[in-house]
Structure 1
Amino acid sequence: MLQILGKTSSINVRKVLWTCAELGLSFEQEDWGSGFRSTDAAEFRALNPNAMVPVIRDGDFVLWESNSIIRYLAGRYRGEWLYPADPHERARCDQWIDWQASELNRSWSYAFLALARHSAAHQDRRQIESSSANWTKHMAMVEGQLECTGAFIAGQAFSLADIPIALSVNRWLDTPLQHADFPAVAGYMAGLAGREGYRDYCRNGTP
């Protein structure tokens, strides 16, 4: 049985949970992270020296880093429809997965911690405004891409890239800030509503 270590409120854990839903994979989940068992515990660090969730155990195989995990699961469990084998299609998918982790994540960090998590260490008004503006700029890139495809983030078919991107859009929508009018983004999220993984792990009230 596939084991997933990490709390459901983590956006990175939810990437893995949603991927499992798309692939029809059964799993056991253990809650680790803030509010649950500490990831600084020796037994967790033995699995992931970075002390971050998620971690998976697939038999004797252990893997951490959410984007590496979702790629592994798609490759291991016949998910070619989700993560295409064609080099061009896979590269487009990877492009958006990596952009979400490297650029989009950084754009929201300060504003999200201030406005959604109410962190006392993140209450500088100028930095909140700067981060919010940067976040909106990156969301405009998502809007532009969805206008181009008229469907999903990497093209005409749902792919692995839509999981981290939709989770990020959900985080943006659920954070109390001024939201620009992005009709393609709104239509995209409405179109995903029929997917079980989306209902269970994206629009589930957990930013």
Structure 2
Amino acid sequence: MIRIDVLERAILGPWLQLTLRWPGELPAPAPGQCLRSADGTPIWPMRPPQAGRLSVLASSCQAGATLDLSGIEGNALPAPEGETLLLAEGLGLAPLIHLCELARGSGRRLLALYEAADTLPFRPRPSRFMVEGAPHGVIAAIPLLEDWGIPSRLASHTDLPGCHEGGLDALLERLPAPSGAMILAMGSPAFIARLAAIAPRLIPLDIEA
């Protein structure tokens, strides 16, 4: 068991965002890997450790001034190569952002699509990037990815402004077939199954809440 200091905490939509003190002697979690708290909660890193700090996202966990972790679990997702389509829902937002940060500025062509449930954990921004095939009016984007120059689009079942009304599977069917692109999907088994029916070559990451 490893005891880690909790430096900051914030509510991010339905989730808890923590900033942890990450000692330099500990390995950096790779995108797709999670931390496991003492109460069994999976905690998903959002970005690589920076200056001894690690930003993570969890549905909930017993965190006070410190957090007890049992270690790093899971297999790392492959790094984006060439043209890459990133698909995520729920807490899959964390590895999606993690992957984008590692790949930004690399010249790789990324497109991130995110499916929200009831609310979004951020305030969407109208995108400055065109996405071929996106329905008219579907312009809402993840603001952090806009800052990084990575196009994104959002889908929601609750008719949020600027978002595609429905699931990512319906939005994906409107876009040109991603022939030859790497496809990474991060979410629940049901979410991954819906997308695999359209994109059977996708690489899945089952996200525990």
The structure carrying a bigger strand percent of its residues is 2
Q: Same fold (TM over 0.5)?
A: no
Greater helix content:
1
* TM norm structure 2: 0.34
Greater RCO structure (CA 8 Å; 6+ sep) = 1
Please report the TM-score for the alignment, with normalisation by the length of structure 1.
Answer: 0.34
